[in-house]
Amino acid sequence: MSDLILELKELKTQFISKDSTVTPVDGVSYNIKKGEILGLVGESGCGKSVTALSIMRLFRDTTGKITGGSVQFNGKDLVKVSEKEMAMIRGKDIAMIFKEPLTSLNPVAKIGKQIIEVILKHEPVSVRQARETAVKMLELVGIPRAEQVMNEYPHQLSGGMNQRVMIAMGMSLNPQVLIADEPTTALDVTIQAQILELMKRINEEHGMSILLITHDLGVVAEMCSRVVVMYAGRIVEEADAENLFLRPRHPYTIGLINSIPVIGKNVERLESIPGNVPSLTNMPLGCKFAPRCSKALERCKAEEPGLFTVVSDGMERKCRCWLAAEPDKEASYA
Amino acid sequence: MNRNSPFREFLRKFWRRKTAIIALIFILMMFFIAVFGASLAPYDPKTYEYSNTLQPPSSAHLFGTDEFGRDIYSRILAGARLSLSVSLSAVTFSAVFGTVLGLISGYIGGLFDNIVMRVCDTMFAFPDIILAIAIVAILGPGLQNVIIAVAVFGIPSFARIMRGAMLALKQSLYVEAARSIGVKSSRIIFVHIFPGAFSTMLVNYSMRIGTAILAAASLSFLGLGAKPTDDEWGAMLSVGRNYLGTAPHAVLFPGLVIMLTVLAFNLLGDGLRDALDPKYK
Amino acid sequence: MLRYFFKRLLQMIPLLVVVSFLIFMFIRMIPGDPARLLAGQDATVEEIEKIQRLYGLNDPLFVQYGRYIAGLFSGDMGTSLRTGRPVADMLLPRYSATFTLALTSMGWALLIGLTIGVVTAVFRGRWPDYIGMLVAVAGISVPGFWMGLVLIQRFAVEMPIFAVTGLRSMKDFVLPSITLGAGIMAMIARNSRSEMSETMRHDYIRTARAKGLSEPEVILKHALRNSMVQVMTIIGLQFGFLLGGSVVVERVFGIAGLGGLLVDSIFFRDYTVIQAELTIFAFLFIMVNLLVDLMYGLLNPKIRYGGGGADEPEQPV
């Protein structure tokens, strides 16, 4: 299919040290379509960030390693291309922004220099041209007095401004995909909304695909057309956003949605999912969610379900749950 | 939690540092020599043999002979006792004194703390060896005074570590918790604060011994420490220097032993630091 | 920046006062009556008293201290008790020898030390790392005087490339500065390696990689400068180590510098000279550290702008 930009197939990433091997991403497959915002949701430690790092292959200085699967991008398998080729793709075709904008920028280099650097790295332009592009980008992301900011340092800007700088930097080569790893988690709520709006605008005006990684379902509801839910290194549910929010199928997704506070709805206490995410070194045998699942059957504890494709009301979704595979049980938890 | 487990963890990490293990074995060997060195020596280090002076290394004299025909290998073995005991006693003195000072200073705070830290700053403003030379200048040359000098300039580093640990731990939760359930001050210090700072102290102790050996040898070399006739590594070098052109071995071997010993203490310190620092895996 | 500079300058004053006072008191603790020493073995009581009056040795301590401080400000450091010459005249020619030696040593130590630090950081856990770190730990373990002697034996006696002693040309600085710089080189290498490893863990290094920079670019353009900020402060402390080491190295190479003079003066209880030398050493050390602080400010924009530290509130845009 030509409208697929990035296609992950059975991606497996492991951190291997002398004493232990953990697998934070275990057989993950999903794809990103041209011009869409795909949400990747899950609790911290579920492997969503590692998935992003795997796409970019940013594992130097860690014990992380992609041990299986593929990442198809422009007809190439990013898992197999040389480090040199990968470096040419990073920043140019796939850009990434991170959770902590302040620490993600070099504290001793001027903002302008940091943006110009990425342009010069990938485009055969003069420093002056690169500078003009950088100023244009800063203006595009809504930074007032862009010319001045070029000569300032990250610590002189607010967190929201720094995240705008990161976005400007990521966009300056007009990449096909922007990976945003919890871009608003470290920001104030009002600033969050501004940054999200900016990303949405960029997506609409430039047709840039965005992979938005977050633990905040509210953000997903506002931004994404499609959602992938991850739990303990695996995808547990994938569906169009509307479909997912209105008719969640996986007990974990249901739990996540129920734990969002709703203004105006008077509740005794917020619902939460009992228990914790299983530790990577001590995974349950069957369904990874079974120990926390109120609907768990004997089968769930013994045997891990596959990612079933389910069609309901004419809409397709994927769900990793035995209950989803047996339509007759549907009534019991709907 | 098992009380032993942090220690086991430390042993496991330390065991992986092969250089530190080798260094530890070398140091233990040196201690053995320091205790039994004189009886291990093939020759009496004090016997002059004028017919056999400044001979290069041979099968009879492994490291050659010095200007009086004494066997250099035997003198080095005998010298281990003096060289090690000087540095060990000096550093132990600094550690004890510095620890007490740092503890009191950090615990009391206020003016006393201020004065102690100003004095430590001032001592840091002097190069170690110059401070030691100045102290020997007051007390007069001699090994005993070298110990005092080396001990004195080691105090600030221990005091600072202990004070820093004290201040950090004073505010940390588990000490606050202990205080809130009415644990006595002295008990807080010895049960909670001291073990917390122990690892840093241990590393500093090992590293400091290396520095102390070098400082003591330097002072002896300048003629401010051991007498030229003493079996002390620095003093042997100082005398051997006069025969550099004709008998380089008289300089080479004592220096090599000093370097290897200091190296061993530094490697041990490195290994301890890596094994004790939670940042390293 | 200017405010920062003056703040640091003001902070130095109490330290200098304390240091100079301690040195002064220290010197009075040296046993032996300098007047008697000066007058000679069989001097009469009158002669000794005359000398005491001449040098003001009987005045109250604070008067002597005041005279010493006043003298320092006018460039008068007293008269040598041993030679009878003005101390300043004795120190001046030796000063340049010691200072040049310290600078050349620091120069090469910085160059090699940083190179080793960067290379070991890049090749962490592989053989260039192990070799580099072994060289570094050997460097801090080698006794300076022994290394000097071995170098003389090799390169001045066996292969007469360099002079055995003395300083006549720049070439004569080679062996002494290698000897003096070895320890510093090793410390810089160790520190810059650990600083580099620390820096490489930061988020902005990941950003630099995500921009598509190659590993050498990441290190040279992003990691090195940030590590340098920390290594700078260490260099300041090690300057003291250099001054201390110069005492021994000057002995080994027969260089007429400040260090050699200090040892001689101690043997002769020439306390005006000892006092002046210790003051100069302490003053130099404090000045170098001030300089390092300023460099630190220059390298670190957080201090350069706003005059505050990391906890200063972010400025709204």
Q: Could you tell me if C10 and C112 lie in one domain?
A: no
Last residue of a domain, one of C73, C88, C107: C73
> Which residue has better confidence, A254 or B228?
A254
The answer to whether the CB of B148 falls within 8 A of the CB of B137 is no
Q: Are residues C22 and C170 in the same domain?
A: no
CA B94 to CA B86: how far, in whole Å? 12
CB of A7 less than 8 A from some CB of C: no
- The per-residue pLDDT for A283 is 82
**Which range of residues forms the domain containing residue B222?**
19-43+55-276
Residues from chain B contacting residue C137 (CB–CB below 8 Å): 263, 266-267, 270
The token pair at C271 is: 């306390």
For CATH 3.40.50.300, list the domain ranges present in chain A: 4-224
Best probe of the C interface among A17, A57, A156, by most C CBs < 10 A, is A156
User: For position C79, what pLDDT does the model report?
Assistant: 80
% of chain B residues with pLDDT over 90: 20
**Region B86-107 average pLDDT:** 91
- Comparing CB atoms, the residue among B222, B245, B259 nearest residue C146 is B259
Give residue B28's pLDDT.
Answer: 94
Domain C-terminal end among C42, C73, C104: C73
Lowest mean pLDDT segment, chosen from A130-144, A216-230, B175-189, B262-276: B175-189
Number of C-beta neighbours around residue A280 at 10 A:
18
Q: Rounded CA gap, C125 and C127, in Å?
A: 7
**Interchain pair C301, A104: CB under 8 A:** no
Quick one: pLDDT at residue A224?
Answer: 94
Across residues A163-181, what is the average pLDDT? 93
User: Are residues C107 and C67 part of one domain?
Assistant: no
Strand ranges of the sheet holding A64-73, from the earlier edge strand across to the other edge = A21-33, A4-16, A64-73, A76-77
* ipTM over 0.90 threshold: no
pLDDT at site A235: 93
Q: Is the pLDDT of residue C306 over 60?
A: no
Tell whether C303 and C167 lie within a shared domain: yes
Which residues in chain A have Cβ-Cβ distances shorter than 8 Å to C310?
155
- Whether residues C200 and C283 fall in one domain: yes
In this structure, is the dihedral angle defined by the CA atoms of residues B146, B149, B151 and B157, taken in order, positive or negative?
negative
Give the distance from residue B172's alpha carbon to the nearest chain C alpha carbon, in angstroms: 20
C118 with C16, same domain: the answer is no
Residues C139 and C44 in one domain: no
Same structural domain for residues C34 and C169? no
Chain C residue with the nearest C-alpha to that of B123? C19
Q: In the structure encoding, which two tokens stand for residue B59, read together?
A: 């099968």
Last residue of a domain, one of C15, C41, C73: C73
Looking at residue B250, its pLDDT comes to: 87
pLDDT of residue B6: 67
Q: pLDDT grade, residue A331 (50/70/90)?
A: very low
Quick: pLDDT tens for C95-127: 888 888 988 999 999 999 999 988 888 787 788
pLDDT of residue A11: 94
Q: How confident is the model at residue B174 (pLDDT cuts 50, 70, 90)?
A: low
Give me chain B's average pLDDT, please: 82
- Interface residue of B83, B120, B213, B221 to substitute, partner C, most C CBs within 10 Å: B221
Chain C contact present for B40, CB below 8 A: no
Residue B73 domain flag:
yes
With bands split at pLDDT 50, 70 and 90, how would you rate the model's confidence at B124?
confident
Q: Is A122 left (phi over 0), alpha (psi -120 to 50) or beta?
A: alpha
For residue A247, pLDDT over 70 is answered with yes
Coil, helix or strand at residue B247? coil
Residue C76 pLDDT grade (very low, low, confident, very high; cuts 50, 70, 90):
confident
- Interface list for A 87-116 with C (CB within 8 A): 87-92, 95-96, 98, 100, 103-109
C197 to chain A, minimum CA–CA distance in Å?
9
Q: Which residues pair with C148 in a beta bridge?
A: none
Residue A23 CA to residue A38 CA, distance in Å, equals 23
Phi, psi of B66 (to 5 degrees): -95, -165
User: Which CATH number belongs to the domain containing residue B218 in this structure?
Assistant: 1.10.3720.10
Would B35 be classed as within a structural domain? yes
Residues C64 and C109 in one domain: no
- Reported CATH class of domain A4-224: alpha beta
Q: How many residues does chain C have?
A: 317
A151 touches C: beta carbon within 8 Å: no
Task: Decide if pLDDT at C308 tops 50.
Answer: no
Domain count, chain C: 2
Neighbours of chain C (3+ CB pairs under 8 A): A, B
Provide the pLDDT for residue B225: 84
Dmax over Cα atoms in chain A, in whole Å?
67
Residues B276 and C12: their CA atoms lie apart, in Å, by: 36
- How does pLDDT run across C248-275, given as a tens digit for each residue? 898 888 888 888 888 888 777 787 888 8
Q: State percent of chain A over pLDDT 90.
A: 53
Alpha-carbon gap, residue C262 to C275, rounded angstroms = 9
Residue B29 tokens read as: 């060997």
In the predicted structure, residue C314 carries a pLDDT above the cut 70: no
Q: Is C190 inside any structural domain?
A: yes
Could you tell me if residue C220 is inside a domain?
A: yes
Count the domains in chain B: 1
Domain for residue B86, yes or no? yes
Residue B7, in any domain of the structure: no
Of C223, A139, C214, nearest to A131 (Cα)?
A: A139
Its domain, for residue C54, covers 2-73
Per-residue pLDDT, A1:
46
pLDDT given for residue C227 in this prediction = 85
Please list, in sequence order, all residues whose beta carbon lies within 8 angstroms of the beta carbon of residue B4, skipping any fewer than 6 positions away. Answer: none
Residues C34 and C140 placed together within one structural domain of the fold: no
Q: Is the pLDDT of residue A316 over 90?
A: no
Q: 């991170």: which residue's tokens?
A: A98
User: Are C55 and C110 members of one domain?
Assistant: no
pTM (2 d.p.) = 0.79
